[in-house]
Structure 1
Amino acid sequence: MVNKPLHVTVNGIEQPVEDIPEQLMMLDYLNEYRNLTGTRFGCGIGVCRACTVIVDHEDGRSEEIRTCITGAHYFEGKSIRTVEGHAERDENGDVAKLSEVQQQFLDHFSFQCSYCAPGFVNAATVLVERLQREPIPRSQLEATISDALESHLCRCTGYVRYFRAVRAAVLAMPGTTVEG
């Protein structure tokens, strides 16, 4: 097995450059090298999206990437966020405040086994951030949420609570929708 150096920023913290196997998937890097276990191994073929993380681009855009099918070295030099990186933390590193999306998921009890929840939280976060840059007419909100979540799979909840939580999160963030 050939090792290559990897330099990546995770949840705002520049990680030490490490030589890791060339074929290592990002999911395994996060779980085994960074001890970030919120990114979940679900199907292993990129279909369920429980393994989704967010890549933050320099231009302010963010996008979802599936980590069970994407090698760690794809992320060389990139900045990513996992579900652990959304909450505000205090000086001790303890969670001080959940993100709006996380809080709405909790308030709407938008999980059952919660295995897929990190992927849904990341998808909702990407959506909210996009709408903060590019607001949509409120009349398009339901369709926009459906488009953002449709590729994520949950085997427990039937999606209604996820949808309600994302809708509440979008509406709680000023400037994400306009009248129409």
Structure 2
Amino acid sequence: MTDVKQLLTQMGSVDMAMKYRAHRELARLIDRETRPDHSEEREQLATELAMELAATVTSKAPPTNVPDNIDTVQVPKHPIAVRRLICTFLQQIASDKQVPMIAPLLNEIEIRDEVRGVLQRIGTTAAAHELVGATKQLGTEFRIGVANAIGAIGSISTGESFDALSELAMDPDTEVRMAAQRALKRIRVPHE
């Protein structure tokens, strides 16, 4: 099997030819694994990509004026551009099994929109649950996207989704309210 970690490292290269070849090879791999007879390989690849998306490395802490005795910090393993591409690939192959790995990344402002898109594409109850948790985050555009994602998952939404959208429908921001109201029209709450 192709070394996904190596391809992702090459995609972060400054060498444009190397970056292009790595992106093309990974796109071919994703395309091959989306075939119906490759479900096990697809799941393995999705898990590997999700792990790489969440992977961190230890780096020297940047200097500050505050004496805090922190010498190292955890930073994402891959540059933002590569992490966004990983999300694009995950939208094609991710499943419920990757939700616990990628949901915490909704808190990373640099990639949270892309992670929201992956969860929306997964479209399961577990993904909707994680999106509900993101309705409290800051940013009008992000909360509109979260409302739309919950609405898009609509047919399997839970009472929790309905409650979160109902709360957003009373948001002080007009655009957030309108998005939540539109999303509420698309969801069906199962009878309990």
TM-score by length of 2: 0.28
| Structure with larger Rg | 2
The structure that is helix-richer by fraction is 2
**More strand by percentage:** 1
TM-score (norm 1): 0.30
